Structure 1
Amino acid sequence: MKFKPETTYNAEEKIWYGHPKRSYFGEDLSIGEIIFREMKRHPKLIAQISDSENTLLTREELRFNSMRVASFMRRLGMVQTDIVGIIARNTTHIFAVAYACFFNGIAFHSLNITYEESTIGKLFDITKPRLIFCDGDEYEKVKAATIHRNVLIVTMRKHHKDSISIDKVLATPIEEDFKPAILEQGIDQTLAILCSSGTTGIPKAVTITNSRMILYFRDHMTTNDVMYTHSTLDWLSGLAITVNSGVYSSSRIIDDNLFDPARILRLIEKYKITWLSQTPAQMAMISHCKEFDRANLQSICSLIYGGGQCSREAQVLIRNRLGGDYLHSTYGCTESGSVSLNRNFDEKPNSVGRLIDGFKLKILNERGEALGPNEVGEISVDNGEHWPGYYGNPEETEKLRDIKQWFHSGDLGYMDDDGFLYIVGRKKDMLKYQNIMYYPNEIENLISQMPDVIDVCVFGIWTPHNGDEAAAAVVRKADSQITAEDVVDYVQHQTTVKYKQLNGGAIIVDDLMRSPNGKTNRAATKAYFINMMQRETE
């Protein structure tokens, strides 16, 4: 058994420790300085290929473009306390914008393109960007959302007549003797601002620093790797691949199309992608599309997925096609970064792995007391790094991270005797049937074992007699004929306890309701279920 990364347990403290952090770069260097130097070291290597726009940039070309955008910002008089806004797809020049911000020590606040005008306005009212880069597709709503701020807007594609085109920005002469900025606050300074999932209201603005936690590939990323993620810059995975491909001189494949599993399979084969990041929903779609059985996946050396539950069937299908032990689940959150990684699917198939270097973890009961192995409680982690908190929101910051710098995740789980972490569910998702406590995740795991199920979401429907009756929304394979009754019957035959059965019923849906970052929105899916049930009774 290759139990890596390492995790040790202190029985007296009841704390698990990952391997001590290792640093491959000077601790005083910013992310921008590291990328700038590495780009100069490997100027002729391919930095990125856009399949949808049919463009190719070497690292030298991308560095020059980044310096031009950075010089444009400097000509505007922008300083390190300013913020740049981004709402854009993965087009050719958006990464020059990101690197330009890194070179200048200016944080960008990246929003999802699906956000409504009101959400954009509220989020940018928090960070107050002076300059916004967006696609022309979103220009009108971005302009309307920020009209009271009179910000400059640069469009990346489908240019609006009232915007500045990215081509004009790229015509800016590079500042003489250009050098990356020295960070005024060192590596504790904010690198980027992303958004929380927003499943319970307006997303919060999550700060990410210049610390080394974003460099989580450290020991195995090389210049021979070819990377791909469908995530844009408003996802932690999108930011991470942007940083890591720059630091480790790996090639990156990008495209700006809607997610299409067949297209992703073609990209893997066409470009011989070695490193792939996916959400569980994307994995399910890929493993169940008709092109999957014929696809060549032999180039992949690492497929990392996280952000939610993935069906066992999808995991097995993909793993069997990879030609090796290359499927790795991960756990973390935008605020703390990636916490754990599972490279032991055979031995620990339901685990999210052992702790990543530099992390420590404890499991807490409802009184805040640390628990031992195999005891379920709230997962609390410490990454040993400075975190500025939610931008402009000290109240929510204090709720998430305590005075001793521990993040309180709100996730429930446990560590086994080998130091592997298991997720049980969300603390707030706990349900009670006739005063008996249970978690939706328990029933979701059961339903996901049905061969025809791609994805599932379980929630509680409150009744005065029983309390929370479990109900499910199920996504089935395209060619499947399973019904809601089949799902209810399956659960009934798989569990003998009444409170874990689908007493609230089930429905078949084309897809679950999701937040902009692709995670299942349990509350919205529940609301859809209730609406459908009401329609049937009318």
Structure 2
Amino acid sequence: MLDLNGTPATCYDPVQKIWSGSSLQSLYNEDLTVGQIIYRQLQRQPQRIFQISHTDNTRLTRSQMLQNASKVGCYLRDQGFDKKTDMVGLLARNSTHVGALAYGCLFNGTPFHAVNPNLEQKTIASLYRITKPRILCCDVADYEKIKDIASSLGSLVLTVNGKLPGVTSAGNLLQSPLPEDYEPAQFQRGVDRTMAILCSSGTTGTPKAVTLSNSRKLFEMHSYLGPDDVQYAPSTLDWLTGLITLITAGVFGTVRLISSEMFSTAHFLDLCEQHEISWTIMANSHVAMLANCPNTSIQRLRSLRYLLFAGGHCLVGTLKKMQSFLHGPGILRNAYGLTEVGTLISYNYDTQSKPTSVGRLMANIRVKIVDSSGQLQGPKGLGEVLCHNGQSWNGYFGNPQATAEMRDSEGWYHTGDVGYFDQDNYLHIVERKKDMLKYLGMMYYPHEVEEVIAQMPDVAEVCVFGIWREMEGDAAAASVVLRSGSNLHPSHVEQYVRKNISVQFKHLHGGVQIVPQLAKSANGKVNRHAVKAAYLKNANES
């Protein structure tokens, strides 16, 4: 439900001190899986284009995607994939047949475990040792990385985007005839069945295997999408935004645009012009890159109607600059969610008047704010954000202890994010709980210092972190990426912070380094731990 201004409705109960999104009843039978829903939807308008692969230069109609995915589903059925623990591993970039492999799994009720191919081999191995997929799907380029893992698990390897001698390929499966009576698998309470397993972000430790159910929340909040929309997400299926894009395309009949190239401003601008992207979701760091790119223009982004960003803060100055390249208000939107929750928690349609907020709550979401002593907080009270989505969760696969730490016995997810609600029921995320720093007994968040540094005209990106000193605590230090042509010196940054932050404990006592880029996770989030490690290495070498 939206209010009169078109933003999600959120109400506050001052007795229970809980904020709630609107109550919304799903239109779908709870026995249906998402795969069954998509199977029926793809039967409509069979000759319309469903997917365009920019890299492979291929186009698939809705009928072709339905046929391909059904053949995968039929193959899994014939191979005896019928238990909840029968898994398919997916280690692949966005190429022509990845969507059909994922949909085929959904049709058969087989969970797929998507892992980013850019991760280290030992991390990939540790993740797949948890779920033990019977089939591991990979790009040809990653075969050497995956073959020993598959051998140790007794898994079949299937190549996604090409052929290798003696190795089964997706192309082989798609040559098989499809029985005329094929139907996707049916289940009781299909909504609760595990649909996919993604990875936690890994920015605060080793990634975990996060189960996602066949929840309608994955797509229902994007019901504004339709056949005239071209959707694009640079993320692969191991990130929630990549999965949401795949699911919404199937349910709402949009055109799904994919590319195997990693995000770059030049590539994204070319895609927008060539394919007229209307909807995209990207990391906050990608918005910063776009806003500060000299080639970005309102003309090149003229097709965009929805530009969502997720994964962290976007600095106010960056948002204002990005808005200047868009042809109207309400296009630039901030989405806040957790992989574990399996959906967006809040959504900010109003980044112009509420630039520091992640918006109001989505339907059927409840949130409470709890301080360090366990006390519930009211409006403007700061504490950890706890979220309730009103649905079952099968937890971190094979890790009941971490599951209990993330979601308590009453169903509240402990997000690890610190935030507050303002007087208009807009949620603000201050920082991750684990990122809190303490210097000379005074606590602060890196983001507070980043916001100040980002106001410098020469700064494109900044990451602040603490350097531990036994006598002082966490001394703030900064890695700074400059805009093209800038000659800013580290001392200028230190002086600017001293001038614009009145309290000394937030000054840059740990120093400043000018760097060409900030270390990021595979999906575009700034990895504060990796940036700090690079800073310390440079400091030791100089």
Give your verdict on TM over 0.5: yes
1:46 is the counterpart of 2:52? no
User: Residues 470 and 503 of structure 1 are in contact (CA less than 8 Å); yes or no, is this contact kept in structure 2?
Assistant: yes
- Partner Cα separation in structure 2 for residue 224 and residue 293 of structure 1: 23
Q: Which residue of 1 is the match for residue 37 of structure 2?
A: 34
- The correspondence for 1:486, drawn from 464, 475, 492, is 492
Q: 1:165 to 1:18 in 2, by over 3 A?
A: same
Amino acid at match of 2:474: D
- Partner Cα separation in structure 1 for residue 270 and residue 63 of structure 2: 28
Superimposed CA distance per residue, residues 173-215 of structure 1 (whole angstroms, 9 cap, x where no aligned partner): 2134011111355210001000011234321000110011111
Q: Equivalent residues in 2 for 1:289-300 (5 A)? A: 289-293=293-297, 295-300=299-304
1:241 is the counterpart of 2:245? yes
Q: CA deviation at 1:3?
A: 6.2
1:24 is the counterpart of 2:27? yes
Q: Which residue of 1 is the match for residue 233 of structure 2?
A: 229
- Partner Cα separation in structure 2 for residue 387 and residue 301 of structure 1: 33
Q: Which residue of 2 is the match for residue 107 of structure 1?
A: 111
User: Residues 313 and 451 of structure 1 are in contact (CA less than 8 Å); yes or no, is this contact kept in structure 2?
Assistant: no
User: Residues 298 and 326 of structure 2 are in contact (CA less than 8 Å); yes or no, is this contact kept in structure 1?
Assistant: no
- Partner Cα separation in structure 1 for residue 188 and residue 399 of structure 2: 22
Q: Which residue of 2 is the match for residue 418 of structure 1?
A: 424
- Partner Cα separation in structure 1 for residue 176 and residue 44 of structure 2: 24
Task: Calculate the aligned-residue CA RMSD, in Å.
Answer: 1.5
1:523 is the counterpart of 2:529? yes
- The correspondence for 2:214, drawn from 210, 224, 249, is 210
Q: Equivalent residues in 2 for 1:338-487 (5 A)? A: 338-487=344-493
Superimposed CA distance per residue, residues 406-436 of structure 1 (whole angstroms, 9 cap, x where no aligned partner): 0011110100010001111111111111101
Amino acid at match of 1:307: G
1:505 is the counterpart of 2:508? no
Superimposed CA distance per residue, residues 22-51 of structure 1 (whole angstroms, 9 cap, x where no aligned partner): 423333321011101111122122101111
Q: Equivalent residues in 2 for 1:274-289 (5 A)? A: 274-289=278-293
Superimposed CA distance per residue, residues 430-449 of structure 1 (whole angstroms, 9 cap, x where no aligned partner): 11111011111111111122
1:331 is the counterpart of 2:351? no
Q: 1:99 to 1:107 in 2, by over 3 A?
A: same
Tell me the number of residue pairs that the alignment of Structure 1 and Structure 2 aligns: 536
Amino acid at match of 2:65: L
In structure 2, runs of 5+ residues without a counterpart are none
1:119 is the counterpart of 2:123? yes
Q: 1:305 to 1:218 in 2, by over 3 A?
A: closer
Identical pairs, percent: 42
User: Residues 162 and 169 of structure 2 are in contact (CA less than 8 Å); yes or no, is this contact kept in structure 1?
Assistant: no
- Partner Cα separation in structure 2 for residue 327 and residue 482 of structure 1: 30
Q: CA deviation at 1:158?
A: 4.2
User: Residues 118 and 145 of structure 1 are in contact (CA less than 8 Å); yes or no, is this contact kept in structure 2?
Assistant: no
Q: Which residue of 2 is the match for residue 79 of structure 1?
A: 82
Q: Which residue of 1 is the match for residue 18 of structure 2?
A: 15
User: Residues 223 and 252 of structure 2 are in contact (CA less than 8 Å); yes or no, is this contact kept in structure 1?
Assistant: no
- Partner Cα separation in structure 2 for residue 217 and residue 274 of structure 1: 17
- Partner Cα separation in structure 2 for residue 260 and residue 438 of structure 1: 33
Amino acid at match of 1:280: N
Q: CA deviation at 1:141?
A: 1.1
- Partner Cα separation in structure 1 for residue 244 and residue 293 of structure 2: 28
Amino acid at match of 1:119: T
Amino acid at match of 1:100: G
1:171 is the counterpart of 2:175? yes
- Partner Cα separation in structure 2 for residue 98 and residue 421 of structure 1: 34
TM-score of the two chains, using structure 2 as the length reference: 0.96
Q: Which residue of 2 is the match for residue 318 of structure 1?
A: 322
Deviation larger for 233-242 or 482-491: 482-491
Q: Which residue of 1 is the match for residue 133 of structure 2?
A: 129
Q: Secondary structure at the match of 1:461?
A: strand
User: Residues 49 and 56 of structure 1 are in contact (CA less than 8 Å); yes or no, is this contact kept in structure 2?
Assistant: yes
User: Residues 96 and 161 of structure 2 are in contact (CA less than 8 Å); yes or no, is this contact kept in structure 1?
Assistant: no
Superimposed CA distance per residue, residues 36-80 of structure 1 (whole angstroms, 9 cap, x where no aligned partner): 111112212210111111111110110001111112222222214
Q: Secondary structure at the match of 2:152?
A: coil
1:252 is the counterpart of 2:262? no
- Partner Cα separation in structure 2 for residue 346 and residue 515 of structure 1: 28
TM-score of the two chains, using structure 1 as the length reference: 0.97
Q: CA deviation at 1:234?
A: 0.4
User: Residues 135 and 159 of structure 1 are in contact (CA less than 8 Å); yes or no, is this contact kept in structure 2?
Assistant: no
Q: CA deviation at 1:216?
A: 4.2
User: Residues 97 and 161 of structure 2 are in contact (CA less than 8 Å); yes or no, is this contact kept in structure 1?
Assistant: no
- Partner Cα separation in structure 2 for residue 208 and residue 454 of structure 1: 36
Amino acid at match of 1:276: T
Q: Which residue of 2 is the match for residue 60 of structure 1?
A: 63
- Partner Cα separation in structure 2 for residue 48 and residue 417 of structure 1: 43
Q: CA deviation at 1:464?
A: 2.6
- The correspondence for 1:269, drawn from 273, 282, 293, is 273
